[in-house]
Amino acid sequence: MALAKCTKCEKPLLGVNIEEVDGYVRARKELRCVAYSCRSCNTVLSVQIDPIAVKTSIINSLKGR
């Protein structure tokens, strides 16, 4: 049984939708991000920089040296 609840619909969070979104810095598209939303009502619960994209970028930079 899930203890976490959606902040909007208050249904238990048994899972979240994850989708890619663009992150902007001073109106320039700079970062790939991910948004986590409630599967019941689609309310966005959190957004963060995509950790896989960051890891890939670091690896590619190191390979180029």
pTM above 0.85, yes or no: no
Distance (Å, rounded) from C-alpha 53 to C-alpha 46? 17
For 20-58, write each residue's pLDDT tens digit. 999 999 999 888 999 999 999 999 999 999 999 999 989
What is the Cα–Cα distance from 17 to 43, expressed in whole angstroms?
A: 10
Query: Over the stretch 10-20, which tens digit does the pLDDT of each residue have?
Result: 999 999 999 99
